[in-house]
Amino acid sequence: MTRKRAHLVILAALLLSLPGFAWAAVVPAHAAGFATAGAKAQTPVKLIVNVGEEANAEIPAKIRQGQTVVAFRAFFAALGGQVKWEDGTSIATATIDGSTAAITAGASKFVFNGEEYLLSQPSSMSAGTLYVPLRSVSLPLGVSITVSGSPLTVRVHYERAEEKEESPDERLARLMAAVFERHDELMDGLGVMPMSGDMVNGRVAIQIRSYRDVEKKLGDAELAAVRAAMYRIAGEEFPLELEVVECCTRDPDIQGVVEKVDTVRKVIQVSGELRGREMENPIFVSLLKDAKLLVDGAAAEAVFTEEMVGKSVKAWVAGIRLLSETAVKVELD
């Protein structure tokens, strides 16, 4: 071996030992996202996605400006993600294994889990399909890419994050949260308000009350409808215990005299008894959105006015808030 050739061999060995050259040795530049002068624009390429041990899926891809570009929706769907498109903003969003990627058609960068990443070339639309550079969108996901054959075949391998098995308590907590997130459906559709919830002995216990008609008693038919609606909202049946909180069947929580009316804060200041005990300091009372107000025995608009100062008051409340109580029913005489 000549001295010149020996030097070339040593230099090649050193270059191949570098991390950047290890990638280039496995993946041709045009497939990995590097520009090549000889590649033709819009050249078809066979791109196969493999997720774990699952069967391969072939998705649309091209060589454009010397780089492999891939259909955004098909790529993330093949990985097992969910993709949505917003016509008004031309933004595509993909979610996969708890991560989110968002990109705008024509943009030179995309957002992955809140961080911006540059694209090796701008995304673009072709026949109604959004194409993005394969290497750019693959890096944050941690996929591996190999290239072989003629015609060119690119293989993408992705290992999905292991899903932690949900415990029984976690399942119940998730289902209960879903019910409370969509409480408006129960209030507007069935006239029932979920007030509080807890998990007790492997069951979800939810307190409810009648909404709008605060003194209405809920019968078996109404409770069956509430139960069915909660199952529908949660997406499945689960151990559920409903506790009905009836308004105004007990003694008033507050009895006393109206000392002041604050029309701006929409509260009255009351001195007297709170749950049978003399109050050391006056307490503020406000009205719930669907509260019932009686003035001199007649139903009145649920608004406090200055004329109410000095009247005796009885109030049934729905919960304590430090020095303020929120009433579901107030009687003034």
Domains and CATH numbers, the chain: 27-158 (3.30.457.10), 168-244 (3.30.300.20), 254-332 (2.40.50.320)
| Whether the predicted pLDDT of 52 surpasses 70 | no
At 140, list the tokens: 């944050």
Shortest CA distance to 127 belongs to which of 46, 186, 73? 73
| Whether the predicted pLDDT of 320 surpasses 60 | no
Q: How far apart are CA 221 and CA 121, in angstroms?
A: 62
pLDDT in tens, 113-128: 888 899 999 998 888 8
pLDDT in tens, 134-165: 888 888 888 878 777 666 778 787 776 655 57
Q: Residue 176's pLDDT is what?
A: 92
| Whether the predicted pLDDT of 58 surpasses 80 | no
169 vs 56, higher pLDDT: 169
pLDDT grade for 9, boundaries at 50, 70 and 90: very low
Q: Residue 4's pLDDT is what?
A: 36
Q: Residue 3's pLDDT is what?
A: 38
| Whether the predicted pLDDT of 227 surpasses 90 | yes
The alpha-helical segments, DSSP class H, found in 214-305 are 220-234
Q: Residue 161's pLDDT is what?
A: 62
pLDDT in tens, 159-213: 766 555 778 888 999 899 999 989 999 999 999 989 889 988 899 999 998 888 8
Q: Residue 219's pLDDT is what?
A: 92
**Helix/strand/coil for 247:** coil
CB count in 10 Å sphere of residue 202? 10
CB count in 10 Å sphere of residue 288? 18
| Whether the predicted pLDDT of 11 surpasses 70 | no
Q: What percent of the chain has pLDDT over 70?
A: 79
| Whether the predicted pLDDT of 56 surpasses 90 | no
Sign of CA dihedral 28, 41, 102, 84: negative
Q: Residue 135's pLDDT is what?
A: 85
Q: Residue 172's pLDDT is what?
A: 92
3-state secondary structure 156-191: EEECCCCCCCCCHHHHHHHHHHHHHHCHHHHHHHHC
Q: Residue 330's pLDDT is what?
A: 72
CB count in 10 Å sphere of residue 84? 11
Beta bridge partners of 150: none
Q: What percent of the chain has pLDDT over 90?
A: 19
Q: Please measure the distance between the N-terminal and C-terminal CA atoms of the chain and give it in whole angstroms.
A: 113
Chain centre distance of CA 179: 14
pLDDT in tens, 253-311: 889 999 999 988 888 899 999 888 998 888 898 888 888 888 888 988 888 899 989 99
Sign of CA dihedral 119, 125, 128, 133: negative
Shortest CA distance to 238 belongs to which of 210, 199, 192? 199
- Rg (C-alpha) for the chain, rounded Å, is 33
| Whether the predicted pLDDT of 90 surpasses 60 | yes
Q: What is the mean pLDDT of the chain?
A: 78
Q: Residue 143's pLDDT is what?
A: 80
Q: Residue 46's pLDDT is what?
A: 74
